[in-house]
Structures are given as structure tokens and as C-alpha cells.
Amino acid sequence: MPEPLATHAPRRARTATGLLGAFNDAGVLVAADVHVAQRLAALTGEADETVLLVSGHAWPVWEYYAPDLPAARIPPLEILDVNAVLDYGRSAELLREALTGYTGAWYVGWQDEVLDPMATVPLHLKGSGEVVPVAQEFWQLDVQHFTGIDAAASQS
């Protein structure tokens, strides 16, 4: 369990408010890593790529830092719901929907082990495209880049 951040801790986002501030204060989330991950996806992404937020409850943080960068929530949640655990079929269905019209995706996992404990989303992505190495690592975030994705190849 992460430790709460001290008032002057270097990983603390001093101007963060709302949900971002609460997660940052609790030591669960480092604002700088979220910001860098979003900018990395924006700068290196192509027009035919999308961002997949797994778990979808990362949406408020994403929206705070990158309102101009659309992202699909998998599952489509704004608040963590432990009853919305993904299985193989449901994750395939959500990916087919989110990836229609795209051939690439940035996977951003935050507390993804809660709603996708069997890592079915990356399993589908690896099965329908190619993994592109991401040189940067992010604290508390799993960032993966996939290209050559065939949305229809996601099995159910």
C-alpha cells in the first residue's frame, strides 16, 4: 500500500485538486508520470491510433491532463467498480468497439489488476497486433504501444 505524500514531497502535485489531488495526496498516483505518459502518447501517436485506459476509472485524471486527447475507457467506468471485472469475452467486445477505425493503440493501465486481473486486454492486443517497445517507464502506470492491430482479430 502506498504511503501518503508529505506536503513538500517531490512527487506531490502541489496544484492538483479534486480526484487527482486526492490520489496524489494518498501516494497512489504521481501526477508527473500521468502527464508524461499522456504527452508521450500524444507526441508519438499517429492519427490512426487511440488510447485505451485500463481501468476506465483513470478517466478523470486523463481528462484533467489531456482533455484534447481522446481515450477509450475499458471498462467504461468513471468510478472504480470491483463488480465490473473483465473476462476474456467482455474485453474482446470492448476492444473491438474501441479499436474500430484504428490500427494502433496506446495501452495505459492504472490499477488494471483490479478490473483485468488476468490481463485479457493486453493478451488480445498482442494477439491482434505488434508490440512496439516504449523506452520510458512510469511509476504506477503500465504503458504499452501496439501497432498493426486488426480490431476484428480480437477473439471472443
What was the pLDDT predicted at 39?
64
What was the pLDDT predicted at 41?
60
Task: Determine if the pTM surpasses 0.75.
Answer: no
Residue from 55, 54, 78, 58 nearest 146 by CA: 54
What was the pLDDT predicted at 60?
84
pLDDT along the chain (156 residues), means of 10: 65 57 64 62 70 85 81 89 94 95 91 94 95 86 91 66
Residue from 24, 28, 25 nearest 2 by CA: 28
What was the pLDDT predicted at 97?
94
What is the DSSP track for 55-123? SGGGHHHHHHH-TTS-EEESS--SS--TT----HHHHHHHHHHHHTT-SEEEEEESSHHHH-TT-HHHH
Distances (CA, A) of 126 to 51, 105, 119, 154: 15, 11, 11, 10
What was the pLDDT predicted at 115?
93
